[in-house]
Amino acid sequence: MEVRFTDAHLQQWTFVDKWPVFSGEDLHPDSSYLVEVGVLCDILTTGNSADTADTSSSKCGLIN
């Protein structure tokens, strides 16, 4: 499964892994896509402009 999002700094990110990493749903080829998923991260800083998160401890593959 490929998951894409844009962060608060308008940087686009792509995560690639098997569907159980992102969703608790039983996804299969006949599922209705797009689906809402989650990505684990650690919040490093918070501030007035944007939060900073770290996904380096994530088990999924990251493509920048």
Residue 16: beta bridge partners? Answer: 2, 61
Query: Residue written as tokens 């944007």?
Result: 50
**What pLDDT does residue 11 have?**
86
Cis peptide leading into 34, omega within 30 of 0? yes
Per residue of the chain (64 residues), what is the pLDDT tens digit?
Answer: 888 888 777 888 888 888 787 777 788 888 888 888 877 777 666 666 565 666 655 554 444 4
Residues 61, 16: contact at Cβ < 8 Å?
yes
* Global pTM value: 0.53
